[in-house]
């Protein structure tokens, strides 16, 4: 049985490879206390933050949290790798899964649909009508969980797309667009540049986080 004190406080979630905090905000809105870890400094990150190697940190402290989210780099699985075969991009999904399984708590691994994830649900901005007045957000991301999760399908409409895709920072309406449009479409007003391109809309993890919170509460009750 998980610690019953979890019902009297916000459950603590560790966000690995947290970047600028798009995923973290979603979990906070779902009801979690969030701690972020990233090897790069994140001066705009909105919650408690440790600059450290994510997997080393999780190996030492992951078991102390009620749940863990991880967004390992996706370049190795994206179209970027095909365009730059000379680059050696980190392939961290399997090592991340190994660390999270060792922590022994419910986890989520987020990445692009092409990544080697297991037992996934895939989310799209169109499911919530994300975008601007003129453009819909298409940003598919898959989530592996070691607990039961679910997702509705896409709801694409007739608006042109704004993708906010790729770590190179090039994104937007049908392949181009302004930073302001991208921030509005993603619902992340504090980020720009590569940090925005690597982020996911907070509504994705608010949706996943609500399910995760329900799972944790059921664990406490059993």
pLDDT in tens, 139-158: 789 999 999 999 987 777 77
Task: Name the domain count of the chain.
Answer: 1
Higher local confidence (pLDDT), 154 or 29: 29
Which segments within 112-150 are labelled E, that is strand?
Answer: 120-123, 136-137, 141-145
Range of the domain at 78: 4-221
For residues 111 and 5, give the distance between their C-alpha atoms in angstroms, rounded to a whole number.
32
The per-residue pLDDT for range 184-194, each reduced to its tens digit, is: 777 777 776 66
The per-residue pLDDT for range 42-53, each reduced to its tens digit, is: 999 999 999 999
For residues 14 and 32, give the distance between their C-alpha atoms in angstroms, rounded to a whole number.
10
Task: Over range 98-126, report the average pLDDT.
Answer: 94
* Residue 169 scores a pLDDT above 60: no
Q: What is 14-47 written as a DSSP string?
A: EEET-TTSHHHHHHHHHT-EEEEEESS--TT--S
Whole-number pLDDT of residue 5:
44
pLDDT band at 159 (very low <50, low <70, confident <90, very high): confident
Tracing tokens 């679910």 back to the chain, one arrives at: 150
* Residue 98 scores a pLDDT above 70: yes
* Residue 163 scores a pLDDT above 80: no
Higher local confidence (pLDDT), 195 or 35: 35
Q: Which of 21-35, 123-137, 151-165 has the lowest mean pLDDT?
A: 151-165
Whole-number pLDDT of residue 130:
79
* Residue 81 scores a pLDDT above 60: no
pTM above 0.85, yes or no: no
CATH number of 16's domain: 3.40.50
Whole-number pLDDT of residue 168:
29
* Residue 108 scores a pLDDT above 70: yes
For residues 137 and 156, give the distance between their C-alpha atoms in angstroms, rounded to a whole number.
9
Q: Residue 160 carries which DSSP code?
A: P
Q: Which of 212, 217, 50, 218 is nearest to 144 (CA)?
A: 212
């Amino acid at each position: 049985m998980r610690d019953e004190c979890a019902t009297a406080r916000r459950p603590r979630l560790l966000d690995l490879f947290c970047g600028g905090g798009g995923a973290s905000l979603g979990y906070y809105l779902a009801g979690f206390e969030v701690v972020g870890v990233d090897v790069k400094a994140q001066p705009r990150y909105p919650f408690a933050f440790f600059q450290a190697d994510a997997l080393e940190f999780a190996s030492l402290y992951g078991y102390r949290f009620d749940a863990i989210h991880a967004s390992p780099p996706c370049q190795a699985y994206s179209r970027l790798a095909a365009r730059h075969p000379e680059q050696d991009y980190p392939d961290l999904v399997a090592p991340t899964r190994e660390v999270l399984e060792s922590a022994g708590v419910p986890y989520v691994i987020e990445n692009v649909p092409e990544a080697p994830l297991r037992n996934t649900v895939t989310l799209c901005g169109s499911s919530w009508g994300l975008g601007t007045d003129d453009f819909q957000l298409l940003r598919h991301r898959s989530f592996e969980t070691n607990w039961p999760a679910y997702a509705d399908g896409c709801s694409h409409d007739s608006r042109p797309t704004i993708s906010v895709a790729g770590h190179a920072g090039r994104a937007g309406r049908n392949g181009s667009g302004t930073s302001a449009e991208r921030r509005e479409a993603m619902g992340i007003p504090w980020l720009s540049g590569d940090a925005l391109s690597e982020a996911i809309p907070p509504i994705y993890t608010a949706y996943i986080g609500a399910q995760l919170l329900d799972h944790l509460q059921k664990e406490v009750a059993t």
